[in-house]
Amino acid sequence: MDRTAEINLWTDRIPVTDGRLEEFVSDPIACMRRLHREHGDLAMFRETSEKQQQLVFIFSPELNHHVLSDSKTFHSQFFTLRGPRNSAQRHLTCGLLSMNGDEHKQQRRQVAGPFEKRSIAFHHDTVTSVTDQMLATWKPDSVVNMADEMTILMRKITSMILFGTDQLDLALEIGEMLDEWVEMNHQLGLAAFIPRDDFMPEYNRMLSYAEKLEGRILDLMKWRREAGTLGADLLSQLIRVHDTTGGITNEQLVGHVALLFGAAHMTSAYSLGWTLFLLAQHPEVMTSLNHELQGGVYDEPLGAFDSAKGSLLDRVLRESMRLLPASSYSQRLNDVPVELGPFSLPRGTPIIFSSFVTHHRPDLYSQPDRFNPDRWLTISPTPYEYLPFGAGPRMCLGAPLAQFIIKTILPRVLKHNRLSVVPGAEVNGLVVSTMLNPISGIPMQIFEPDGRFVTSPVVGNIHALVELPAAAHQRRAAA
Ligand code: HEM
């Protein structure tokens, strides 16, 4: 349907749902799916309390395109508390996601170098060595929580890629502190929706933690400059840009580093965890992939430019990021009043777009809740129909790096182990801080690579997100 026809339809019915914003905060996917079911491509959620806050939701490729391609009108705003001017909290939150207009364009250009495809292959040895260390701790027949394993693995890898390995303890310490700080921001950010009595003491605690964290990042930057040890890590590369062009200030460097860590670490960990879960639950796909793995298809380091394009591994990752996108929604704020469908939106209205809802539209993907990597042999969605890394001028800067890391880790993990979800496990996906978190863990049992893949019965809200194949005993009972 073209946009004019869509807008005419809206004049007959105003797509507004009244409710409490807690509903959105406590389960964003359930809330967005309800709005999509009730209203279609465009919806407003209006807070009924005295706050009268309103959120607008867009779910169609056309509206995604309209909003995401126009970064002049629709601004990005980091979901966080910015802190007082000149505070460490302000510096840590001034990365790309908080910038707009010319400042964003100029800084994105400055930061882009280390993310170019030719730079990312440098990180191959870091990724493989940390993965191998993890694998050495897995014993046959033991059970691991795959969500935790991937989070720890990605925290280490991200710390090393960002901060280098020659000050490993400091790099890992900064990674852990960034993790803790991101969690504090999330908890306090919720107070915008759900008031809490201890807000001020907790806010002050976060401000002092931010100071400590900034201090450690500055220590590392100082050490790198003084020791003259600028390497291939991202911080060194950004320091080089700062020192040669002056295009990035020290405060901006701190902000970029904090955002890069936050943007890279959990998203990649969740994508890995969900992909391993989906593979374990789909024995036919896993059998085909195993065939390629045992045949040595992925033994050579990935070429940074092809990243296994066209392989089953590539289709598996595309499909897993379609079905369970780690970044399930994000927002823009209109910088000027705008008309959107039947709405006249005052400046600063939050407009939420959702890769999860768009990726589950049956008009774009047949049987959208099923994991079917081979659909990618015949479909070729537009960037606004398939957007696990966002779309438009603010699309994820780290997308090629993330794909490189994930496609390097998966074959290593899968070649020497058969993974099976622990039967009866509870698996839940909940969006926390915009990311689809396997919140209750993914318990998996490790077996020798015997190729005997089976689906396990699981419980939890995962069944509301994905249509999983029945486990063998369930199939027998149904027959
Ligand atoms: C599977 C892993 C990842 C996923 C799913 C992901 C997803 C996303 C998404 C959806 C956005 C757009 C947000 C918006 O439009 O509001 C984004 C932006 C961004 N991502 Fe990623 N990301 C991943 C990994 C990474 C990595 C590894 C890095 C860097 C080390 C990174 C750096 C960034 C940056 C800097 C932005 C902001 C770009 C801008 O505003 O210009 N991401 N990411």
pLDDT in tens, 16-62: 999 888 889 889 999 999 999 999 999 999 988 766 789 999 999 99
> Which among 158, 238, 396, 403 is the best mutation to test ligand 1's pocket, defined by most ligand atoms within 8 Å of the CB?
396
Question: Is any ligand 1 atom within 6 A of the Cβ of residue 264?
Answer: yes
Is residue 79 over pLDDT 70? no
Distance 396 CA to ligand 1 centre (A): 4
At residue 12, the pLDDT reads 57
> 435-438 and 429-432 as β-strands: parallel, antiparallel, unpaired?
antiparallel
Domain ranges in the chain? 81-327+383-478
Spatial separation of the C-alpha atoms in residues 93 and 82, rounded to whole Å = 6
Q: Whose CA is nearest to atom 3 of ligand 1?
A: 267
Q: Evaluate if residue 1 carries a pLDDT over 50.
A: no
Confirm if 45 and 19 have CB atoms less than 8 A apart. Answer: yes
pLDDT tier for residue 72 given thresholds of 50, 70 and 90: very high
- For the stretch 141-150, pLDDT in tens is 999 999 999 9
> How remote is the CA of residue 88 from the centroid of ligand 1, in Å?
23
What residue's CA is closest to ligand 1, atom 39?
A: 394
Q: What is the pLDDT of residues 182-228, one digit of tens each?
A: 889 888 877 766 677 888 999 999 999 999 999 999 988 888 888 77
Distance CA 418, CA 402 (A): 24
Q: Which CATH architecture has domain 81-327+383-478?
A: Orthogonal Bundle (1.10)
d(CA 239, CA 193): 38
Q: Whose CA is nearest to atom 13 of ligand 1?
A: 390
**pTM for the predicted model, two decimal places:** 0.93
Q: Is 259 in the pocket of ligand 1 (CB under 6 A)?
A: yes
**pLDDT for residue 3 is more than 50:** no
Query: Which pLDDT score, from 0 to 100, does residue 121 have?
Result: 84
Report which of 397, 336, 346, 391 is spatially closest to residue 72, judged by C-alpha positions: 336
Q: What are phi and psi of 100, to 5 degrees?
A: -140, 170
- Whether 445 and 458 have beta carbons less than 8 Å apart is answered as no
pLDDT over threshold 70, residue 181: yes
Q: Is 266 in the pocket of ligand 1 (CB under 6 A)?
A: no
